[in-house]
Amino acid sequence: MHHIQLSNTAFEGANSVYLLGDGDADAPTTLVDAGVASADVEAELRAALGDRGVAFADVDRLLLTHWHHDHAGLAGAIQSESGADVSVHEADAPLVAQSENAREDLHAAQEAALREWGLPDEEREGLLRFSADHRYLRGDPVDVTPVSDGDTVALGAFEAEVVHLPGHAAGLVAYVVEREGRREAFVGDAVLPKYTPNVGGADVRVDRPLARYLESLERVQSLDLDRAWPGHRGPIFAVSERAGDIAAHHDERTARVERAVADLAPATPWAVSAELFGSLSGIHVLHGPGEAYAHLDHLAREGVLRETPDGYVPA
């Protein structure tokens, strides 16, 4: 297995792509994730694969952890040259396939969320312009093979089990493998080594985003992994501990959100985001209030806060 690091100037953090099965006649040449569809990143990926004697045309299988452009963007270009089978969870498949209805539904949901979260018109319009300006990063449409929780994907001498871990994205999955006596998983953005994955803004389709994500962290711990290969940066060795640290981080953030509402009530997600993160730009104008909303929604469902037409107040 070879870890390929790609740049990512449009969104936060370098992306990780994993090459499996190169040079093994009995195993399909497989990539896990693909990077954004920019000319620079495509050149990086072609060069990195070329160093291993692999071209886009040689790729037999592509496993996508979720639909975000920095993970699925180049899948269409790879598939157009190789005819590779592209697997992605059924919840994200329409977005990777670039179904017109799926894209329109996502954009409508995002615009509705931005209004509900209390973004000022200038910030909301700026974010929509940012998204439009970076739309090319999604790349070409893909002929996808939808997978579901519990499915297995044959990778030659071993298989990968699909484990659904929603929260950061509705269809985020890990691919769990038993390899060289170790239990490992390609986890996408379910667990990251340096910072915490955004919840709430990264995929507005997720209902009860914080609760779903905390459930996914518990499931990561139950997998008893020896090592995780995340979608950004390097490997994670103490996987259960890292998942627990992220859950604890959200406990602390929930307490901060509760204090912010006590001071600001009634408080919108946009106002709480300013308390948590300060001034935001680019994609973070979506992620900041989305994260605040995820915690506000969670506290309201637990009866700690109450939602009113003007914002959240203590219950």
b/e per residue, 213-247, with b = 16+ CB within 10 A?
bbebbebbbebebeebbbbbbeebeebbebbeebb
Q: Does residue 276 sit within a domain?
A: no
In a domain? residue 192: yes
pLDDT at 9 over 70: no
Largest CA distance in the chain: 64
* Domain presence at residue 32: yes
pTM to 2 decimal places: 0.95
In the predicted model, is pLDDT for residue 96 greater than 80?
yes
Per-residue pLDDT tens over the stretch 41-93 = 999 999 999 999 999 999 999 999 999 999 999 999 999 999 999 999 999 99
**Which residues, listed in sequence order, are joined to residue 186 by a DSSP beta bridge?**
175, 229
What pLDDT, in 10s, does the model give residues 101-142?
999 999 999 999 999 999 999 998 888 888 887 888 899 999
pLDDT class of 12 with cuts at 50, 70, 90: low
For residue 104, what is the domain's CATH number? 3.60.15.10
Residue 164, Cβ density class (10 Å: 0-12 exposed, 13-18 middle, ≥19 buried): buried
Domain count of the fold of the chain: 1
Q: Is residue 53 part of a domain?
A: yes
- Judge whether residue 24 has pLDDT over 80: no
d(CA 174, CA 307): 34
Residue 260 lies in a domain: no
268: in domain: no
Does 185 map to a domain? yes
Span 251-274, mean pLDDT? 97
User: Using 50, 70 and 90 to split pLDDT, how confident is the model at 157?
Assistant: confident
Q: Which domain holds residue 33?
A: 2-239
Half-sphere exposure of 63 (CA within 13 A, CB side): 35
| Rounded mean pLDDT, 292-309 | 97
Q: Is 152 a domain residue?
A: yes
Answer yes or no: is pLDDT of 10 > 80.
no
Q: What whole-number distance in Å separates Cα of residue 173 and Cα of residue 171?
A: 6
Q: pLDDT confidence of 282, banded at 50, 70, 90?
A: confident
